Each structure stands twice: as structure tokens, then as C-alpha cells.
Amino acid sequence: MRLLILGGTRFLGRALGQAALERGHKLSLFNRGQSNPDLFPQAEHLRGSRGTDISTLNSGEWDAVIDTCGYFPRVVRESAGLLAGRIDRYIFISSLSVYANFSKAGTGENGPLASMPDPTIEEITEETYGPLKALCEQAAETALPGRTLVVRPGLIVGPHDPTDRFTYWPYRAARGGEVLAPGRPQRAVQYIDVRDLADWLIQMVETRKTGIYNANGPAGQCTMGELLETCRSSSGADARFTWVSEQFLLEKQVGPWIELPLWIPESDPMMAGFFSFASGKAIREGLTFRPVEATVRDTLQWTRTWPDDHTWQAGLTAEKENELLSAWRSR
């Protein structure tokens, strides 16, 4: 098949490109050429910028286009409209953030979607990200009615993740010593390995699937305690986990999700279903999941290629972690 990836050299796009090439597809990539420009030399590289210059897409035909970097409906409308007559299907990578709220467990693809008063806003914030993604989904479907595949992943993890929202834990456990662990060890967490998502997406393209799919790890598959124990065993370090109550963390104004990855306060009723989205529809279409040990091991191995001055995008600093642990012990 002839596949075009909008993006294609960072994280999910990178994994999609790798999966496509491994399965023998002819690959084209459209991006600015700023991130990993030498990746996939066997692919066709089309240079341009979403929203400002997509003229290199004025010619060419593909069986499917995978849009990994559409955040504003105007931009998605432009690319989908330009390509509609020269492609068979448009695959849009959306997000579970499109749902109106996370208060109920088991939200499926028919859950109510988030909205915003002014749909022309082009600024990504915590409040606008989900509604904008929902509008992007609609823009793609309007341009190619009945020919779109919309995939809504949860937290995507694994090697080459630029966000550090999962990577913090394997790396921190490998450092050893006393580790601040948030909330209850029995608290469920939900995520998906980028390689599992990419492999499944390429299979969906090959079988010409359309429609909307949640794509996240099975609800209840893993707890925070199990994840951290796997991080410890995979690294072989002497990490010792001290479980700190969420009330204490909130009192100390520790930021959920980013400052302390994978932690969402259970006391927030509006987030009660955040780690329990339903992905049964995707699983019935072949989505599978590698063991957590493999994701942790490979993520940790990837961190060992980092430069010494790696700038963390998420996670507690060592200084703040020590301060919090000291305050917890002396409370």
C-alpha cells in the first residue's frame, strides 16, 4: 500500500513509519524536517508546515493518509480537503480527551463529546485540547464522509516518548533509594504502548476499517503498585516505595499527571473514570497489548541513550521529592 503520514518522525509517527515499512508498504512522510530528518531514508520525504504551507501535497496519490499532528479543525479541514480526491481513506489520530467528562467508568465511543464556545480558537490549553480534537474529527469526516478512521488513544507510552509522563517511573526506580509513590498501590492505571498502537493502526489501514475507536489498555489490567514493582524488578535497583496519601500531596500542591506522572486524585469525582475507558471495540478488531515488563524494560533501555543534560518534561525533581518524603515522615 502507499501510505502518507502527516508527521512521521516523532513518537507515534515514528512507530507508525517503522510498522508500515516492516510490513512492506511504500511510505511518504510530510513534515518540516526539523525532528529526526534522517529517519527512514527509504521513505519519500515531503517538506512543509501544517497550517501555513502544504503545497508539496498538491500532487501524489495514496491509499491512506495518517494524520498524527492535527490539532486545529481549520488545519485538518485544509489537509483532508486537499487530499480527498487522491486518497482512499483518512486516518485521524485523536484523543480520549475529546469526551465531555471523565466522571463515569467505561466510557465508550458513543460518549458525549467536549465542546467550546468559540470553535475558531487556535490555542492549545488544558480546556481547549479535547474540544479542538473533537472538532478535528468532525472536519476529517466532513471532508471524506464514510472514509475516515478516527482513533482515540489514551496515554501513549514507550521508547521515544517526548513527554516523560510514563518514562519517569522506570527511570526513577532505576535510580534506587526511597521513591515517593502516590496514593494507593491498588489504584488502577491505563495506558498503551506506542508500538502496540502503531502495529494495530497499520493493520486497520490494511483491512480498510473506518469508524471511531478508543485505543487504550484494558481497564483494570494494571495497578500503580504493580507498575512500580515491575519498574523495580526490571532495573534490579534497590528502590523502596513510600506510598504517600493524595490528601497530603494535594495539601503540598503537588501537580497531578505532569509533576507526578500517572497520578490523578481519586477524590476528584469528575475524574473517577479517567483510568477506565472502554476499548473493547478496538480489542475485537485485533488490538493487543505486550506485557508491562516489556514496555518498562524497553523504555528504561531507551533512557540509557539520553545525553547527561536531558531536560525532564514531567516528574518530581530529586530535591522536591526529598522534601516531600521528609515532610511525610515528620507529619
What residue ranges define each of the domains in the chain, with the CATH number in brackets?
A: 2-153 (3.40.50.720), 168-190+222-270+294-329 (3.90.25)
Task: Determine the pLDDT at residue 240.
Answer: 97
Task: Determine the pLDDT at residue 285.
Answer: 98
Q: Is the dihedral of CA 326, 327, 328, 331 positive or negative?
A: positive
DSSP, collapsed to helix, strand or coil, labels residue 236 as coil
The closest of 230, 227, 216 to 275, measured between CA atoms, is 216
- Report d(CA 192, CA 217) in Å as an integer: 5
Residue stretches of the chain with pLDDT short of 70: none
Write out the three cell numbers for 253: 500542591
- Report d(CA 239, CA 172) in Å as an integer: 8
Task: Determine the pLDDT at residue 52.
Answer: 93
Task: Determine the pLDDT at residue 122.
Answer: 97
- Report d(CA 30, CA 46) in Å as an integer: 5
- The torsion angles phi and psi of 244, rounded to 5 degrees, stand at -105, 135
Residues 6+ apart with CB under 8 A from 271: 102, 103, 264, 265
The closest of 246, 222, 243, 237 to 170, measured between CA atoms, is 237
Task: Determine the pLDDT at residue 219.
Answer: 79
Task: Determine the pLDDT at residue 16.
Answer: 98
Task: Determine the pLDDT at residue 198.
Answer: 98
- Report d(CA 76, CA 65) in Å as an integer: 12
Task: Determine the pLDDT at residue 42.
Answer: 97
- Report d(CA 53, CA 221) in Å as an integer: 43
- Report d(CA 47, CA 23) in Å as an integer: 24
Strands 87-93 and 148-153: parallel
CB atoms within 10 A of CB 211: 13
- Report d(CA 7, CA 93) in Å as an integer: 11
CB contact burial 75-102 (16+ within 10 A = b; e otherwise):
bbbbbbeebbeebebbbbbbbbbbbebb
Task: Determine the pLDDT at residue 221.
Answer: 83
| Residues forming a β-bridge with 90 | 65, 148
Instruction: Tell me which residue has cell 526511597.
Output: 178
